C-alpha cells in the first residue's frame, strides 16, 4: 500500500487551517516547520509548513504572479523547462519532509493555482496523492478578505473562482473529499470522520480522544466571524452568477448529495471551467490594471512616507530651533549678567582710581607742605636711628620700595650731614656785629624754623602721625 500525501486545498479564509488541524487529530503528519500563529489573522495557527509556502511563492513569482493575482494561470505555464530546477527541489523537499511517515499532509491555498506543477512532481514519487477541498460561502470569504486585506468584494469573488475552479479541474480522477467550513464548525467530529472514510484513513485507539480535543478545545465559534448561506446570494448583486453556481454545486458535494466522480459533477465543472476560461482576456486586463494601480499606490505610499519623514524632520528641526532659541536666551541673560558685573567692577575700579588720585593729591600736598620739607631731616634720622634698631621693620620698609628707599636714604643722609655741619660752623649771634646778626637771622629764617622743646615734641607727633597715614595709604594702594 502506497504512502499517502494529503493536499489540503481551498481559497484563503475558507477553513483550510481548521481542516489541517483536524487531519492532525486523525494521525496525519504536517511537517516540522509550521507557521506560527498571527494575532488578528490566524490566532490558532496556520498548520502549514513554511518551506512549502516559500516554494509555492517562488513558483508563482516565476510567472509574474502572486497569491492575489486575478489572471488565469494556464496549466502549461507551470510545466515548462523553466521549472525543472524547482521541480527537483520540490521532489527533494517532499522526500525530506515525509521521511518514514505513512500519512503526510500539505496545506497551502496557493497550491490551488500551482497544482499542475505539483502533480508533475508527484508523477515521479511513489506516493498516492489525495485531496481535501475546503469550501466556504464566497460572501463570507469576501467579508473576511475585506477585513484582513482591504480587498473589494468584486476582487474577492474573482479570486474565489480563480482558486476553486482550477482545484476541481486539476483533481479530477483523484481521491478527494469536499468539506464545507460552516458544516465543519457546526459538527466537527462527523465531518472529520467523513474525511477519514473518504481518504481511507484507518482510525487508531487514540483517534477518538484527539477528535474530541479538536472539537472542544481547538474549534470555537469565535473563529467564525461571518456566516452566510445560499439564500443571501440574492441580496448581493456583486456576486457573479458563475460563483453562485459553483458554490451551489460544491455544497452538494460537501453534503454528499452528489459524488465527486459522478458524470453530473464532471459535466458541471467542465461547463463552469469553459465559462471561466472564456473570461481570461478580461481577467488578464484586470490584473494588469491592478498591477498599474498597485504601482501607483506604492508610489503614493512612498511619497506619503517621504512627506511624513520630511514633516517629522521639520518638527525635529522646530524642536531644535526652540532649544537653540532657549539656549540663546539663556546665553544673552548670562551675557547681561556678565555685562552688569563688568560695569559694577568698572565702577569699583573707577572709584579706586579716584581714591588713588585723591591719595596721590594728598601726598602731593603733604610733600609740598612746609612741615614735610622741615621734617625731611627728621625722617632721615627716623629711618637711620629707629629702623636701624628694628631690622624687621626696616625689611618691611625696604620691601615697600627697596630701590626708592636706598636712593632716598643716601640723599637724606647727605642733607643731614650738611645740616649738622652748618649748625656746628655757623657764627654765634652774640659774637657777631648787629649787621651780621641781622644777616644770620635772615638766613636762619630761610633755612629752618627755630622751635622750642615743647613745640618740637608736638611737631614730632604730627609728623609721626602723617608718616603713618602715608605708609598705610601706600600699603593699601599696593594691596589693591
Give the start-end residues of each E strand in 1-63.
Answer: 3-10
Please list the ranges in the chain whose pLDDT falls under 70: 1, 41, 221-225, 371-464, 470, 474-475, 477-480
- Give me the residue label for grid cell 644777616: 439
Instruction: Report the predicted TM-score, pTM, of the whole model to 2 decimal places.
Output: 0.65
* Angle value at C-alpha 405, between 391 and 463, nearest 5 degrees: 80
- Give me the residue label for grid cell 493575482: 69
Class of domain 3-278: alpha beta
Please name which of 105, 173, 99, 165 lies closest in space to residue 135, comparing C-alpha atoms: 165
pLDDT of residue 390: 47
**Which ranges constitute the DSSP H helices of 229-279?**
241-254, 263-278
pLDDT of residue 8: 97
The rounded distance, in Å, linking the Cα atoms of 353 and 345 is 12
The rounded distance, in Å, linking the Cα atoms of 304 and 200 is 56
Could you tell me if 69 and 87 are in contact, meaning their C-beta atoms sit under 8 angstroms apart?
A: no
**Which ranges constitute the DSSP H helices of 131-240?**
138-149, 153-170, 181-186, 188-198, 207-213
Q: Which long-range contacts (CB under 8 A, 24 or more apart) does 450-459 make?
A: 459/371, 459/374, 459/375
Exposed (0-12), middle (13-18) or buried (19+): which is 477, by Cβ within 10 Å? middle
- Give me the residue label for grid cell 511619497: 303
Could you tell me if 225 and 146 are in contact, meaning their C-beta atoms sit under 8 angstroms apart?
A: no
pLDDT of residue 410: 62
The rounded distance, in Å, linking the Cα atoms of 356 and 476 is 10
* Angle value at C-alpha 264, between 263 and 267, nearest 5 degrees: 80
Could you tell me if 254 and 180 are in contact, meaning their C-beta atoms sit under 8 angstroms apart?
A: yes
Element (H, E) at 107: strand 103-107
Tell me the C-alpha to C-alpha distance, in Å, between residue 309 and each of 55, 93, 298, 315. 36, 44, 16, 10
Exposed (0-12), middle (13-18) or buried (19+): which is 180, by Cβ within 10 Å? buried
Could you tell me if 90 and 127 are in contact, meaning their C-beta atoms sit under 8 angstroms apart?
A: no
Phi first, then psi, for residue 259 (nearest 5°) are -85, 140
Tell me the C-alpha to C-alpha distance, in Å, between residue 147 and each of 28, 156, 388. 32, 11, 113
Amino acid at each position: 500500500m502506497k504512502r499517502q500525501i494529503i493536499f489540503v486545498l481551498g481559497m484563503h479564509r475558507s477553513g483550510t487551517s481548521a481542516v489541517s488541524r483536524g487531519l492532525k487529530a486523525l494521525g496525519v503528519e504536517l511537517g516540522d516547520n509550521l507557521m506560527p500563529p498571527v494575532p488578528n489573522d490566524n490566532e490558532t495557527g496556520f498548520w502549514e509548513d513554511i518551506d512549502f509556502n516559500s516554494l509555492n511563492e517562488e513558483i508563482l513569482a516565476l510567472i509574474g504572479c502572486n497569491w492575489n493575482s486575478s489572471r488565469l494561470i494556464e496549466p502549461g505555464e507551470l510545466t515548462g523547462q523553466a521549472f525543472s530546477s524547482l521541480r527537483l527541489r520540490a521532489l527533494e523537499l517532499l522526500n525530506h519532509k515525509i521521511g518514514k511517515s505513512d500519512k503526510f499532509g500539505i496545506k497551502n491555498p496557493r497550491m490551488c493555482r500551482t497544482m499542475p506543477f505539483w502533480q508533475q512532481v508527484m508523477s515521479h514519487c511513489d506516493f498516492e496523492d489525495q485531496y481535501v477541498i475546503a469550501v466556504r460561502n464566497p460572501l463570507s470569504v469576501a467579508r473576511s478578505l475585506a477585513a484582513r486585506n482591504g480587498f473589494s468584494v468584486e476582487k474577492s469573488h474573482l479570486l474565489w473562482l480563480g482558486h476553486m475552479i482550477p482545484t476541481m479541474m486539476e483533481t479530477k480522477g483523484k481521491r478527494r473529499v469536499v468539506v464545507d467550513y460552516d458544516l465543519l464548525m457546526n459538527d466537527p467530529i462527523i465531518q472529520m470522520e467523513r474525511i477519514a472514510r473518504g481518504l481511507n484513513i484507518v482510525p487508531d485507539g487514540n483517534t477518538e480522544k484527539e477528535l474530541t480535543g479538536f472539537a472542544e478545545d481547538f474549534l470555537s465559534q469565535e473563529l467564525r466571524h461571518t456566516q452566510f448561506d445560499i439564500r443571501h446570494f440574492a441580496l448581493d448583486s456583486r456576486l457573479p452568477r458563475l460563483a453562485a453556481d459553483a458554490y451551489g454545486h460544491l455544497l452538494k458535494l460537501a453534503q454528499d448529495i452528489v459524488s465527486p466522480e459522478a458524470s453530473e459533477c464532471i459535466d458541471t465543472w467542465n461547463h463552469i471551467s469553459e465559462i471561466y476560461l472564456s473570461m481570461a482576456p478580461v481577467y488578464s486586463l484586470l490584473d494588469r490594471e491592478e498591477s498599474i494601480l498597485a504601482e501607483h499606490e506604492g508610489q503614493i505610499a512612498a511619497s506619503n512616507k517621504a512627506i511624513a519623514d520630511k514633516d517629522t524632520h521639520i518638527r525635529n528641526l522646530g524642536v531644535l530651533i526652540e532649544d537653540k532659541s532657549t539656549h540663546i536666551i539663556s546665553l544673552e541673560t548670562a551675557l547681561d549678567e556678565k555685562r552688569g558685573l563688568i560695569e559694577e567692577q568698572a565702577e569699583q575700579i573707577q572709584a579706586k582710581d579716584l581714591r588713588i588720585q585723591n591719595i596721590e593729591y594728598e601726598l602731593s600736598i603733604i610733600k609740598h607742605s612746609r612741615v614735610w620739607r622741615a621734617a625731611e631731616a627728621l625722617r632721615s634720622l627716623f629711618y637711620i636711628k629707629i629702623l636701624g634698631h628694628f631690622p624687621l621693620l626696616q625689611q618691611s620698609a625696604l620691601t615697600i620700595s627697596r630701590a626708592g628707599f636706598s636712593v632716598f636714604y643716601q640723599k637724606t643722609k647727605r642733607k643731614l650731614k650738611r645740616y649738622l655741619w652748618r649748625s656746628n660752623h655757623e657764627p654765634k649771634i652774640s659774637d657777631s656785629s648787629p649787621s651780621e646778626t641781622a644777616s644770620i637771622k635772615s638766613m636762619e629764617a630761610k633755612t629752618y624754623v627755630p622751635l622750642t622743646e615743647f613745640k618740637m615734641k608736638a611737631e614730632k607727633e604730627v609728623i609721626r602721625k602723617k608718616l603713618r597715614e602715608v605708609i598705610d595709604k601706600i600699603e593699601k594702594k599696593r594691596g589693591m
